[in-house]
Amino acid sequence: MIQKALNKTITVKILFFASLKNYFNTSEKTITINENTTLKELRNKLFLETNISQEKLLTLLYAINHNYVSLDTLLKDGDEIAFLPMVSGG
Amino acid sequence: MIDITENVIPIGKYHKELCLLDCGGIVAFEGRIRNHNDGKEVKDLSYECYKPMGLKVLDEIVQEAYKKWDIKKSFAIHRIGNIPLGEIAVWVGVASHHRKEAFEVCRFIIDEIKQKVPIWKYETYTDGSKSWIEGCKH
């Protein structure tokens, strides 16, 4: 029972915009991760596999379900997570 | 009214809608596609948008303006996709009783759009190079 709780997972959809698509060769992916994962943990895991610079990483913005959020946000099953470079509309 | 659209922005129609009898001031800002950026000659420009979030953020910006200022009507419209040089990419129009609020709100909305709405420029230059523009320098 305890083991089952420890292994509980959630599935989230991740969106990449503008230049971030180049780092992942896609604009979206769906992944399964452990429950109680924070956005920061997910970001670090994802970007570890890329050659993104620390400088660029620090400028990124984050949204969950269309709201800007901070990196300490706890992820929930079904979340739509967006990694956003600094915007340049207008 | 807010919108994010792939169509040409019908500014004549929107301007007419701002001409209200009780409004003595109308201020509009139109952002157009420049043929140069950072010393490079721009050949082609397109905008990418996270549209569901973009509409939500744009609506929040306009709602905030209505809370802070006494204005009567406003438009905040952003065009996306490929836009020819010289054409309008963003149009903000505000009508109020007096000019002060119209000027302030127009400035507020366009500045907030440039900081918060998830839209990005992708520029192609005459030398064949291409670049995402991320962040606003101006």
Does residue A85 belong to the interface with chain B, where contact is any CB pair within 8 Å?
yes
Asked if residues A50 and A21 have their Cβ atoms less than 8 Å apart, the reply is no
Question: How does pLDDT run across B89-136, given as a tens digit for each residue?
Answer: 999 999 999 999 999 999 999 999 999 999 999 999 999 999 999 998
Q: Domains plus CATH for chain B?
A: 2-133 (3.90.1170.40)
The pLDDT, as a whole number, for residue B76 is 98
The pLDDT, as a whole number, for residue A3 is 52
Is the ipTM beyond the 0.85 threshold?
A: yes
- How many angstroms away from the CA of A19 is the closest CA of chain B? 6
Number of Cα atoms under 13 Å in the Cβ half of residue A87:
23
Which own/partner contact pairs does B126-132 have at CB distance under 8 Å and 24+ positions apart? B126/B40, B126/B41, B126/B42, B126/B43, B127/B40, B127/B41, B129/B40, B132/A18, B132/A19, B132/A85, B132/A88
Q: Which residue has the higher pLDDT, A57 or A6?
A: A57
Q: Domains plus CATH for chain A?
A: 2-83 (3.10.20.30)
Question: How does pLDDT run across B21-40, given as a tens digit for each residue?
Answer: 999 999 999 999 999 999 99
Hey, are the CB atoms on B50 and A86 less than 8 Å from each other? no
Residues of chain B positioned with their CB less than 8 A from the CB of A90: 31, 78, 89-90, 110, 113-114, 119, 136
Percentage of residues in chain A having pLDDT higher than 90: 91
Q: CA–CA separation, B61 vs B113, rounded Å? A: 8
The pLDDT, as a whole number, for residue A2 is 52
